Structure 1
Amino acid sequence: MSLPLVPLPASVTPSPGAPFLLTDDVAVTGDADAAGVLHRLVLTRTGLHLATDAASERAEPAHAGRAAIDVTVDGDGPPESYRLAVDEHRVSIRGADAAGVFYGVQTLGQLIARSPDGWVVPAVDIADQPRYEYRGVMLDVARHFHDVATVTAYLERAASLKFNVLHLHLSDDQGWRLALSRRPELTARASSSAVGGGDGGFYTADDYRAIVAHAAANHMTVVPEFDMPGHTHAVGLAYPEVAAAPALDRWDAAGGPTPVAGETYTGIGVGFSSLRIGAAATDAFVDDILTELAELTPGPYLHFGGDEAHGTPAADFAEFVARTSRVIAGLGKTPIAWHEAGAAGDLAPGTIGQYWGFVTPTDGADDRARAFVARGGRVILSPADAVYLDMKPTADAPLGLTWANGPTSLERAYSWEPGEVVSGISEDGILGVEAPLWTETVRDLDDIDALAFPRIAAAAEAAWSVPAGAVDDRTWESFRARVGGLGPLWTTFGIRFPASPEVTWTP
């Protein structure tokens, strides 16, 4: 029996017994938060209103004839793990913690199917736990701004696939997207532009808190990023004293306009901007923005960028990223930087590196990634030619780019193994997997869906499931069948996914 489960659970044992029939009479018992998630999921998927908590408290026990779904935190097993058991009379979800029960509910949602008798859940026993503790998606809100409703919709989509981190790329050459009381000119002067001259925008502190709270309700941690010392042209619009003049000798113009100091930049070129390294005004600026960001962010991580700083001399770059990592550590947070920062010799111990090179490393990217582990840190894997969701899925796709070894098909997005990308880094040295979505061509939620789906499901399996080939169903052929079965669920949740020709979709 093929079940539409993505990411693939650690253990799935189908039962020959009769399925569980979902009706309005089914009672939900157990953890109130998880029960609420289950009620909403079932209502959206089926239109059924399961019994309320109050009704379930008065219900007869399931063994006396009342069909029930019980969702309970029992503290058994590793973090985020769960066990799901389905028979004709009862569904039981037991989680090691609240996150585990939440993920068990998401798995149950994938199992719900229509039959001649109504909505059913097949009889099955599942024991599941994540491979990596960090399972992330990144949304770039700098190239094109995306409002709170769009961000929360995207994080809900990601959480349903058991991602637990939302990385927000909050600043770039095109705009600054978070209001800070210590540096108010950033949003007053540097937030109104976007790629192509479109409208910009920014989050107030309350907007950001709302995103963080919604993420937490979906068991996701927000990792905010202010990208420095490159990708900082917008900073110069607000605080010109901390920004160097555009360096145009090594930048990648990407066929767009030439940046001019003091003027908004609406192209997609990279590598021309830099902060003024070593200046007292720059150090004060960095201290201010990171201090306030740390105050606004309850999660353990702050990301400070460090990529594509072609306009920053190497020695200055090393000095800057080392100092910035120590500032973040001093604020009680764990610093994260893109892998280029591994070239610095004095990063704060434990700094996390995010590798965005190719599945087969080039240009020493793997050396810089290994440097983080050598200094007591770990690595997040985001190989651009596998999990950059902004790459075109096909050559003729209307959205996306192709610089990461051309279009990225669903099969290529699936067919890589995290433990084999950077040699010399053990499994313990890998914190997790993250699938970034840069938004040079992405203007709204429909665009996000069109590029992220179904490839986001491949990234989810890389982050959650056992290594490729470790079990019979951890294969491309199994995955394409399983993801095809999720089409009806995604449709009912309003996800406008393209019907990839690589998949046979369940109608």
Structure 2
Amino acid sequence: MHAASLPAVVPAPSSIEAGSGAPFRLSETTSLAGDADATAALAAIVLARTGLSLGAAEGAADVELRVTPGGAPESYRIDVAEASVVVTGAHAAGLFYGVQTLGQLIARDGAGWSLPAVSIDDAPRFAYRGLMLDVARHFHPVEAVKGCIDRAASLKMNALHLHLTDDQAWRIQLDSRPELVERASAASVGGDPGGFYTKDDYRDIVRYAASRHMIVVPEIDMPGHTHAVGLAYPELAEEPVVGDHILETLAEYGGDAPVAGVPYDGMAVGFSSLKIHEEATYDFVADVFGELTAMTPGPYLHFGGDESLSTSAADFDEFVTRVSAIIADLGKTPVAWHEAGAAKDIADTTIGQYWGFVRPQGDSGEKARAFVDNGGGLILSPADAIYLDMKYPSGPALGLTWADGPTSVERAYSWEPSDVVPGVDEAAILGIEAALWTETVCTAADIDTMAFPRIAAAAEAGWSPATGDSELRTWASFRERVGALGPLWTAMGIGFHPSDEIPWAAE
């Protein structure tokens, strides 16, 4: 079956075949049966999209949703015929993703609604498919974070990376270090209000994410991006180093130069550092990550390691070596931005997160590859493709342009993960992660605008077959398929940017 005649699904499935029979028609009498969580999720999508309230059946039903063990992790199958719909998942996560796909298949059918006759077999290409939300530059409350979880999970993403700390603020309450939120949580970029998550808030986010089959990856950025730590513990922080790079940023974006002991609400980076040779620094690190370990059931703890421009190379290496070991000794897998790959003795389980360009510049590719050579793996977040905070070519004033921006939807889509870092086999790529930094992103509406539709391009890079392995994995196909989701996104309350690159469906 030619791709143009297939139902629109994003991310593109491994296998999809249109059936020859009539569609399955939805009505108020349509019944659901099977897994309770899956039936509730499908009923919510159907209600939002169509206004129909579907009920659960005790026995046989029109729509069967069930877990059938034995398939690949997160895999599912959908069979839609005129008389019945069956969705099976190898595990609960696969069934959940099958439900998300089924929701995308709902189409207007005259005065009613239907699902096209179709068979889909699907499983992810990469195990890790993430969204990073920066809550340090601008604080986003729990409900906004839950909205991000819902939206990312609907596109089969399974990790939420929370950038919890930066020069501007510290956003997570810790019993061992209460001064962090007491003294360092009130600021945001531009003087906007701050805030923080209590431990109960964080646990709530973790639980909510788990209900959508997502893990939470907390990031405590260090040794740079730590001006806020100095507000609470001045004895742990070096004096800010205001070099030419800082002055250039101030000239472009405004704001005051950083001053020790004074909250920082500008956009410059690279001026701060923890004190590398103080044992009290590593006591602090152990306290912070020890407490996060107890609250984070997922396997990963992210310690940042980027843009440490005021830390010498030797000191940076020493810090990365010690901190990665502390996290590994806690039984967690350390994650760090790709600059940390330069450290010779980094813990061998450490995962690198590459944020360079699709075509690596300077030594960024070598630093990223070092994680693999050391025994770890890579998460790919190429900034010039899937940094969701970059401006659109035409659209709102939100966003920045430093990552060779503006970034079109086409550019967000048109890259191949296996081609980014030379010398790295696909088996060493854990997955991909779209990143949303929030220097200009202040509200949940701003998040929607900047993320959608480009987050769907990132989701397809993480889930779908490789470019060239499926006739659906082309820009021409994607723009049509994502355009067909406009009515569903609107029904789900997602305020996407109506990019003129996309032929948006009316209903």
TM-score category of the 2 structures, normalised to the smaller one: over 0.9
Q: Does 1:15 align with 2:51?
A: no
2:55 aligns to what SS in structure 1?
coil
Match of 1:437 in 2: 436
Deviations 1:314-353 (A, max 9, x none): 1000000111000000101000000000000111111000
Q: How does 1:280-319 map to 2 (within 5 A)?
A: 280-319=279-318
Measured after TM superposition, the shift of residue 232 of structure 1 is 0.3
Distance between the aligned counterparts of 2:246 and 2:304, measured in 1?
18
1:302 aligns to what SS in structure 2?
strand
Task: Say which is worse superposed, 112-121 or 202-211, in terms of deviation.
Answer: 112-121
Match of 1:227 in 2: 221
Match of 2:174 in 1: 180
Distance between the aligned counterparts of 2:396 and 2:52, measured in 1?
37
Match of 1:195 in 2: 189
Distance between the aligned counterparts of 1:229 and 1:460, measured in 2?
31
Task: Say which is worse superposed, 254-263 or 220-229, in terms of deviation.
Answer: 254-263
Deviations 1:73-110 (A, max 9, x none): 11131000000000011110111100000000000000
Distance between the aligned counterparts of 1:285 and 1:150, measured in 2?
30
1:176 aligns to what SS in structure 2?
coil
The number of residues matched between the two structures is 497
Match of 2:495 in 1: 496
Distance between the aligned counterparts of 2:103 and 2:395, measured in 1?
33
Distance between the aligned counterparts of 2:395 and 2:487, measured in 1?
26
2:143 pairs with one of 119, 139, 149: 149
Distance between the aligned counterparts of 1:421 and 1:391, measured in 2?
19
Contact 2:7 2:18 (8 Å CA) reproduced: no
2:38 aligns to what SS in structure 1?
helix
Deviations 1:174-196 (A, max 9, x none): 00000000000000000000000
Deviations 1:118-159 (A, max 9, x none): 110000000000000000000000000000000000110000
Measured after TM superposition, the shift of residue 42 of structure 1 is 1.2
Q: How does 1:103-502 map to 2 (within 5 A)?
A: 103-249=97-243, 251-253=245-247, 254-255=249-250, 256=254, 257-394=256-393, 397-502=396-501
1:34 aligns to what SS in structure 2?
helix
The residue identity in structure 2 corresponding to 1:349 is D
Match of 1:65 in 2: none
Distance between the aligned counterparts of 1:426 and 1:133, measured in 2?
15
Distance between the aligned counterparts of 1:125 and 1:481, measured in 2?
20
Distance between the aligned counterparts of 1:350 and 1:24, measured in 2?
52
Distance between the aligned counterparts of 1:105 and 1:222, measured in 2?
22
Distance between the aligned counterparts of 2:288 and 2:39, measured in 1?
39
Measured after TM superposition, the shift of residue 117 of structure 1 is 4.6
Q: Does 1:30 align with 2:31?
A: no
Q: How does 1:46-125 map to 2 (within 5 A)?
A: 46-52=50-56, 56-58=57-59, 61=60, 68-125=62-119
2:400 aligns to what SS in structure 1?
coil
Contact 1:2 1:482 (8 Å CA) reproduced: no
Distance between the aligned counterparts of 1:114 and 1:432, measured in 2?
35
Contact 1:251 1:310 (8 Å CA) reproduced: no
Q: Please list every run of 5 or more consecutive structure 1 residues that lacks an aligned counterpart in the other structure.
A: 63-67
Distance between the aligned counterparts of 1:295 and 1:456, measured in 2?
31
Measured after TM superposition, the shift of residue 395 of structure 1 is 5.6
**Runs of at least 4 residues off by over 3 Å:** 250-253
The residue identity in structure 2 corresponding to 1:344 is A
The two structures have a TM-score, normalised by structure 1, of 0.97
Distance between the aligned counterparts of 2:472 and 2:286, measured in 1?
49
Distance between the aligned counterparts of 2:46 and 2:380, measured in 1?
34
1:40 pairs with one of 28, 44, 47: 44
1:189 aligns to what SS in structure 2?
helix
Distance between the aligned counterparts of 1:28 and 1:377, measured in 2?
44
Deviations 1:367-390 (A, max 9, x none): 001100011100000000000000
Q: Identity of counterpart residues, as a percentage?
A: 60
The residue identity in structure 2 corresponding to 1:44 is A
The residue identity in structure 2 corresponding to 1:105 is V
Measured after TM superposition, the shift of residue 170 of structure 1 is 0.1
Measured after TM superposition, the shift of residue 396 of structure 1 is 5.8
Contact 1:230 1:310 (8 Å CA) reproduced: yes
Task: Say which is worse superposed, 358-367 or 248-257, in terms of deviation.
Answer: 248-257
Contact 2:392 2:408 (8 Å CA) reproduced: yes
Deviations 1:4-33 (A, max 9, x none): 210000000001211001112111111111
The residue identity in structure 1 corresponding to 2:355 is W
Contact 1:250 1:272 (8 Å CA) reproduced: no
Contact 1:110 1:489 (8 Å CA) reproduced: yes
Distance between the aligned counterparts of 2:246 and 2:495, measured in 1?
33
Measured after TM superposition, the shift of residue 500 of structure 1 is 0.4
Measured after TM superposition, the shift of residue 397 of structure 1 is 3.3
Measured after TM superposition, the shift of residue 493 of structure 1 is 0.6
2:347 aligns to what SS in structure 1?
coil
Contact 1:468 1:474 (8 Å CA) reproduced: yes
The residue identity in structure 1 corresponding to 2:164 is L
The residue identity in structure 1 corresponding to 2:459 is A
Contact 1:251 1:272 (8 Å CA) reproduced: no
Measured after TM superposition, the shift of residue 276 of structure 1 is 0.3
Distance between the aligned counterparts of 2:436 and 2:7, measured in 1?
28
Distance between the aligned counterparts of 2:223 and 2:245, measured in 1?
14
Aligned in 2, Cα 1:80/1:396: closer, same or farther, shift over 3 Å?
closer
Task: Say which is worse superposed, 2-11 or 323-332, in terms of deviation.
Answer: 2-11
